[in-house]
Amino acid sequence: MIPNNMKKLFLIGICLFLCFRISAQSEKAYAPPALSDAGSWSMILLPDPQTYVKFDYNQPLFELMTAWIAHHIEPLQIGLVLCTGDLVEQNEYPNPDGVHVNQPSKSQWEAVARSFCRLDGKTPYMLATGNHDYGFRSAENRKTNFDKYFPVDKNWLNQRLLREVGTNSDGMPTLANAVFEYASPHGKKFLVLVLEFAPRDETIEWAKKTIAQEKYAAHTVILLTHSYLNARNEHIADEGYKLEGPNYGAAIWQKLVQPSKNIQMVLAGHIGAPNNVKAHLAFRTDPNAAGKKVHQMVFNAQALGGGWHGNGGDGWLRILEFLPDGKTVKVKTFSPLFAASPTTRQFAWRTEPHDEFTFVLE
């Protein structure tokens, strides 16, 4: 018979061996982000930052994400960074309750602006404005502090690409409605059309006329706005905000996207449910007036990692790789937060079909 102490040592040895093997396999399975083709360039899509910035202890997590982007500009050939809006939880609220939010609005705006400082002078970034970026708590009116914290000269690389500027509800110029021109390394010209949350009719008309100009006829237009599709891949018809003349996803599609001849991508955020990945995502493809496919993608993560009071979204972002053929786009979903430690990096990729896929521009 084997003595009990020998049995214990044997079992401990097996446990240590299995732990080492699992750890080694996980380490081997992890691969850091890399382009599938050395000639590609990439765009980074950041989801709604609001849950990162509403708690002071979450704010460093969003800064980690932008710092990671800054350090991967060259290896991933990052040409653009886009963010889906809801930059803050509350636009103008001075007295947080300490439970749902522990930072006043001023601190939230300062935190998100500080995070994007990591990219200033390094790569251009375009930001949508969401419902939480207006009013007091959430779009009670169309007043926003966005232009105060993200002025035109904050990042000179943004200013270099800026081509057209729309106006806000007070008739003043704003980067919440703007057009940026980007020429890819492959020679393909893109326009990034940024529109305010639930854009007004006059904003839709401005956008429609602007991108229809002859000088932009050969450009591929990417529309960046906050609210567009729900988790059932349907255009959002109404959200009930008491704003003057709001247009949600269905109206944006009908009035702007479908009639256009050069919008081929729509990117948005906004949706989510606690710890439910699919509730944060949507994707559909429809033809525009020119018969070209319009790929419409929603990506968010704000209620992952613990729900509305969680860590802000587990660090998830999307890497869109544009291949040298000028048409193929590979989408991957990655977390710099999980990738930061060997203990968690086996969780740094989401590879389900709704998180890793390919689409083709025309």
Please give the average per-residue pLDDT across 98-126, as a whole number.
97
Within a domain: 11: no
Within a domain: 28: no
Distance between start and end Cα atoms, the chain: 74
Within a domain: 278: yes
Please give the average per-residue pLDDT across 196-202, as a whole number.
98
Q: Give the single-character DSSP code of 199.
A: -
Q: Among residues 46, 50, 48, which one has the least CA distance to residue 100?
A: 50
Within a domain: 293: yes
What pLDDT, on the 0 to 100 scale, is given for residue 29? Answer: 83
Tokens, residue 307: 């729900």
Please give the average per-residue pLDDT across 99-127, as a whole number.
97
Task: CATH number of the domain at 151, please.
Answer: 3.60.21.10
Q: Which residues sit opposite 321 in a β-bridge? A: 42, 330
| pLDDT tens per residue across span 26-51 | 445 899 999 999 999 999 999 999 99
Assess contact for 238 and 288: CB atoms under 8 A: no
Within a domain: 300: yes
What is the number of structural domains in the chain?
A: 1
| pLDDT tens per residue across span 311-334 | 999 999 999 999 999 999 999 999
Within a domain: 17: no
> How many other CB atoms are there within 10 angstroms of residue 173's CB atom?
13
| pLDDT tens per residue across span 133-153 | 999 999 999 999 999 999 999
> How many other CB atoms are there within 10 angstroms of residue 44's CB atom?
25
Helix (H, G, I), strand (E, B) or coil at 306: coil
Lowest mean pLDDT among 19-33, 38-52, 197-211: 19-33
* pTM for the full predicted model: 0.91
Q: How far apart are CA 309 and CA 66, in angstroms?
A: 21
Within a domain: 306: yes
Assess contact for 212 and 241: CB atoms under 8 A: no
> In terms of DSSP bridges, do strands 125-127 and 78-83 run parallel, antiparallel, or are they unpaired?
parallel
Please give the average per-residue pLDDT across 89-116, as a whole number.
95
Within a domain: 16: no
Q: How confident is the model at residue 22 (pLDDT cuts 50, 70, 90)?
A: very low
**Range(s) of the domain holding residue 327:** 33-360
The DSSP element (H or E) to which 179 belongs, if any, is strand 173-183
